[in-house]
Amino acid sequence: MPDCVTIKQSKIHGLGLFATENIPKDTNLGIAHILIPHAEETFEQSYCRTPLGGFYNHSEDPNCEIKSTIKYFINSASHHRLVTTIMELFAL
């Protein structure tokens, strides 16, 4: 998690993600979710939520957004290619 955010008690519900300083618009705060292909039995909708993904957007006025990106990973040992989607969190 970047130094510009912290997790603390939310007035809305449970714990939330809060800025510790002003964050410029479009700052990438990190990965919130990762699509794990063919993992429906393990992860709901095949997405694995990262710790950051459990706390984003705890605001009555949304102050961040999720952008999905398709990523390609190649295992150099086996030459297998994994195509997945990551969901990154950006400041508004």
> What is the domain partition of the chain in residue ranges?
5-91
3-class secondary structure, 21: coil
Strand partners, 81: 74
Computed on alpha carbons and rounded to an integer, the radius of gyration of the chain in Å comes to 15
**Strands (DSSP E) found in 1-92:** 5-9, 15-19, 28-35, 47-49, 64-75, 80-91
The model's confidence at residue 70, banded by pLDDT at 50, 70 and 90, is confident
pLDDT at position 82, please?
Answer: 64
Q: Find all residues with CB under 8 Å of 76, minimum gap 6, and list them.
A: none
Tell me the two tokens of residue 92.
Answer: 């508004």
C-alpha atoms less than 13 angstroms from C-alpha of 29 in its C-beta half-sphere = 31
Q: pLDDT per residue over 9-66, tens digit each?
A: 888 778 888 888 888 988 888 888 888 777 767 766 777 788 777 776 666 777 777 7
pLDDT over 70 (residue 81): no
Distance linking the first and last C-alpha atoms of the chain: 17
